Structure 1
Amino acid sequence: MNSKQIQETFGNIDIYLFDQLLKGTYDGCKTVLDAGCGTGRNLLYFLKNGVQVYGVDQDPEAIAQLKKLAIAFPHLNPEENFSVASVEQLPFANESFDLVVSSAVLHFAANQEHFEAMLTSIWRVIKPGGYFFCRLASEIGIESLVHFIGNGRYILPDGSERFLVNQEMLVRLTKKLGAELHEPIKTTNVQNRRAMTTWCVRK
């Protein structure tokens, strides 16, 4: 498979989500939600494999683009599966999904309360035994380079403002949710400008 074929199969997928696919972690997942899906960059592989894929985002234009993309996949209904909604108020029943993906979303939380509201909403819709893949900004490895401005938010060395987590917080939240880490917490340090952490848990 050449690079063009890889791109056609997986699109512009989060490399750490790709890692979980390579490991077969989500092979049995038949219902997948991307919470904060944007235009669906993490959904192409699932769409092509007949998975019932759902997505929510607060950007109407992004959802419109995703619906157009999904027309090519007759196993689902784009109008029903993709909607404009907030992560903290997901429009789905409890225990609906085998996997929820949240890539570069939760670090936009306005404060600790907002972060926990989004996390609680996501956890509610995951089936027992289901998975949560989360990638978000953290202070791990750049603790001395970030500036705390209150309510869990920081100024990063690259000048952006984010809600940041750390390893202690993620371990505590894993226990609070009654979850288990099925993969060690991993962090990528981008040349001391920002750090992105991958948090993979099972319900």
Structure 2
Amino acid sequence: MNTSLLQRFGAIDIYLFDQLLKGRFDGCQKVLDAGCGGGRNLVYFLQNGFDVYGNDQNELAIEEVRILSKRLAPHLPTTNFQVASVEAMLFPDTTFDMVICSAVLHFARDKAHFDTMVRSLWRVLAPGGFLFTRLASTIGLENRIVPLGHGRYFLPDGSERYLVDQQTLLNYTQELGGELFEPIKTTNVQDLRCMTTWCVQKM
């Protein structure tokens, strides 16, 4: 990989990178990565003057992202990064101009847990703000997955995930009062799993 690109963007989700190239988030100030891990999607934002926050239920991941933040954006307080699950975030309502949640929602235990996580993300998003999510889905893989109950499936890659279909995402978009700012897109990974990008603006 080009070293300068890696330094500028980190190991960023390629679909999040696509939105940056389109200038989608140029007007955003406060950014949250919900389920941030070690901060792979935050390098660009930390280096470009955004007010960056993150949470993850893994304490070691939060320590890692705090170290990253101290190196790239030393003015940010370490308290911006909190140990908490997506459904139990302590951030105030309507705080963020942009919320990222990449490869997290498919770890929901069941429909109720998924619903709680989605509504938690929506709660902290400000009006006009952007919600960027990527999650495993049934789209394009309907005949190769085994239902386990409660919205969970066994995938050909050997994993178990909570999966949604396109209609579920469209229903949430309408119910939450949002609008898609990018069409729903799904990548089929060699018929082993499908990852869907769901991008919603809070109106």
TM-score (structure 2 length as normaliser) = 0.98
Shift of 1:69: 1.2
Give structure 1 regions of 4+ aligned residues with deviation exceeding 2 angstroms: none
Distance 2:10 2:188 in 1: 24
The match for 1:63 is 62
The match for 2:184 is 185
Shift of 1:74: 2.5
Distance 2:74 2:65 in 1: 14
State the Cα deviation string for residues 16-69 of structure 1 (Å, max 9, x = none): 000000000001110000000000000000000010100000000010111111
3-state DSSP class of the match of 1:144? coil
- Matched to 2:77, the amino acid is N
The match for 2:92 is 93
Distance 2:83 2:36 in 1: 10
Match runs of 1:5-24 below 5 Å? 5-24=4-23
Distance 1:30 1:5 in 2: 24
Give the superposed CA RMSD. 0.8
> Which blocks of at least 5 consecutive residues in structure 2 are unaligned?
none
The match for 2:76 is 76
Distance 2:100 2:69 in 1: 18
Distance 2:66 2:106 in 1: 26
Distance 1:98 1:195 in 2: 28
3-state DSSP class of the match of 1:117? helix
- Matched to 1:76, the amino acid is L
Distance 1:168 1:122 in 2: 19
Between the aligned residues of both structures, percent identity stands at 58
> Which blocks of at least 5 consecutive residues in structure 1 are unaligned?
none
Shift of 1:4: 1.0
